A and B are shown apart, each in its own frame.
Chain A
């Protein structure tokens, strides 16, 4: 039987209550939302917090998907299933639905949360690559107020973020910009598994010219989940097959995958390039209104 080691349990009744509990209980306390990453790690003793602060009662304040100030705003307690079912999310960022469709399985998606996925910072996590591609901002709340960190700056290594001991992730903000298209391509061993490799792309076009692009990669050891050289190679250039192929090669060059049970490093490097290419083509086609 897999059971976590003993810990104290409290329920937060508000965001301010949650952060005050984090302040009181110190660095060995953790928030638990869906628990579908933290509880398995606790069963295996890979994580052993002394206190869990359950924030599931905060769904009324932290579960939402809305447009405000020309941004798509996603509350941290939004479940994966809710993001997948959200028409407004899919209307502006198809990449969100592409990715959510291949995150775990429908029952796990009923429980896991958007904020939890970011906070877990698993190097194979899908939404981390998505939010980096979308150039999203993460809102972090503490007792002294809120601060915003670019999704690209929130990771501080595997399972590590810049979120402090007494801070919590409360929202994701993605700017709504004209001329955009997005897509996510993932290879997994079986339905619902973690990625062998995956690439997310958000592209913005003016005519056929790429005015901006974000390329996120997961499970392949890309620095901060991003392929910045590949992005730079495309900005200001036409979205041709040649330019996309060259960018995909740069994406493959920036990764540092590990050989493991999901495959050899060279295979994953190949996937990083190939999936970047596929996601770029699809995102461009969507930006041009050519593909649903």
Chain B
């Protein structure tokens, strides 16, 4: 099926079988490999992207469901002036070790701060409760998001 989808602000077109999952369409057909494909079962949260601005687990959404909609992936976080504060926070506070969970963590953090610019630690932990970090680096992930909350107007050069 033909799919027209806006990815990180850019109009894209592809042709997929209806059974292709959004995560595979994004990675394999649209070449945006920043989104990670993890557990396949909507448990780990590595594949989170924003669909029309709402975080979803892209392993449990069909690619064809994104037709006519907009998708933002981790590649879309960086702005013209540099890294998004969420990305900078993960850099500043060692928010990643192996990096596998990082795209999903950052996409969830971005959405949290859009709706709640000053979250408590509890609210941050609640927001990332659908994400698994197998390095168990949760403390630094929370600190990274707190850093981003405190530097929301910053764009940091990589």
Q: Tell me the A residues contacting B by CB distance below 8 Å.
A: 1-9, 32, 35-36, 39-40, 43, 52, 54, 56, 104-108, 110-111, 191-192
Binds A, one of B51-59, B70-78, B133-141: B51-59
Question: Does any Cβ of A come within 8 Å of B61's Cβ?
Answer: yes
A-B contact count (CB 8 A): 74
Question: Does any Cβ of A come within 8 Å of B1's Cβ?
Answer: yes
Shortest beta-carbon distance from A106 to chain B in Å:
6
CB–CB A43/B40 < 8 A: yes
CB–CB A52/B41 < 8 A: no
CB–CB A54/B65 < 8 A: yes
- What are 20 A-B contacts with C-beta separation under 8 Å? A1-B40, A2-B41, A3-B19, A3-B20, A3-B21, A3-B24, A4-B19, A7-B18, A35-B60, A36-B42, A40-B42, A52-B18, A54-B62, A104-B42, A106-B129, A107-B48, A107-B55, A108-B130, A110-B54, A110-B55
CB–CB A107/B56 < 8 A: yes
Shortest beta-carbon distance from B67 to chain A in Å:
8
Which single member of B1, B24, B48, B62 contacts A39 (CB below 8 Å)?
Answer: B62
Q: In the docked arrangement, what's the CA distance between A54 and B62, Å?
A: 10
Question: Does any Cβ of A come within 8 Å of B95's Cβ?
Answer: no
CB–CB B18/A8 < 8 A: yes
Q: Name which residue of chain B comes closest to A10, CB basis.
A: B18
Given contacts A9-B62, A36-B42, A104-B130, contact A111 B56 (CB under 8 A): yes
Question: Does any Cβ of A come within 8 Å of B142's Cβ?
Answer: no
Report B106-134 residues with CB < 8 Å from chain A CB: 108, 126-127, 129-131
CB–CB B65/A6 < 8 A: no
